[in-house]
Amino acid sequence: MKKKEKKFEDIFGVTSKIDTYYCMISCPKWVQLLIGNGKDYQTFLSGLISVNFFEGIDGRTTITRMSRELGIKTQLISKWIKEMYQDILDLNFDKPELFQAEGIFHELHFKGFRGRVTLKLWLKAIPRLYEKVELFFLDAKIGSRVFWVKDVHHEIEDGEHTVSIMLDGGILNKYRTELLDRALFDGVLGFMDIYEGNEFEIDKQLKLFYKS
């Protein structure tokens, strides 16, 4: 009998609401940007802020515990955690100036196991090629929290300087990176094959074509 191939979701799973919550509150200043936006979760948000996002309590926070402490139904909490998390991402896209901090403006293009996300952030230093960047916040969205710098691009237009960084999730494998460059040069893969393709399928193609 032919072995059934595992689906993508079977391998990486789907992030639970409570894990999404922990990713979200890893950046509490971003969460507080949602104050006063007119969404239904404002009471829940105010409650979280009043208890400092349950920091310092004994044991792991659960949705049931939040429900009991804040007097809000668990179904609403689960729904609002998901909405709040996505609203932060949308806000960063629509109004990146709200995220401004000390440093240089960057467009950060993250690629993880579950997809891609672009964030516009100010960093104190420009990440260099192959350096590691950790951002736990993104784990709920794209299944990766550790990334390595794949490419650094500087654009100067009308006196404005923009730094665009391409980052891949997971552990850097320089041999694989060199093999991808060779595949592009040899015409085995195209740029869009690599940019949009599934990593496992790409690896299959590389092993098949370059096997000794």
Distance of CA 174 to the CA centre of its chain: 22
Percent of residues, the chain, with pLDDT higher than 70: 91
pLDDT at 12: 47
> Can you tell me the distance from the alpha carbon of 54 to that of 145, in angstroms, rounded to the nearest whole number?
22
Using DSSP bridges, classify how beta strands 104-112 and 160-169 pair: parallel, antiparallel or unpaired: parallel
Q: Which of 55-59, 114-118, 145-149, 192-196 shows the lowest per-residue confidence on average (mean pLDDT)?
A: 192-196
CB-hemisphere CA count at 13 Å for 42?
Answer: 6
pLDDT at 69: 94
Confidence grade of residue 5 (pLDDT, cut at 50, 70, 90):
very low
Average pLDDT, the chain: 87
Confidence grade of residue 17 (pLDDT, cut at 50, 70, 90):
very high
What mean pLDDT is predicted for residues 83-112? 96
**Which sign, positive or negative, has the C-alpha torsion 98, 102, 104, 109?**
negative
> Can you tell me the distance from the alpha carbon of 189 to that of 203, in angstroms, rounded to the nearest whole number?
11
pLDDT at 38: 96
**Contact assessment for residue 34 and residue 84, using Cβ atoms and an 8 Å cutoff:** yes
The answer for 29, left when phi > 0, alpha when psi is -120 to 50, beta otherwise, is alpha
Q: Amino acid letter at 143?
A: G
pLDDT at 188: 76
What mean pLDDT is predicted for residues 169-185? 78
**Contact assessment for residue 54 and residue 66, using Cβ atoms and an 8 Å cutoff:** yes
> Can you tell me the distance from the alpha carbon of 196 to that of 117, in angstroms, rounded to the nearest whole number?
13
pLDDT at 105: 93
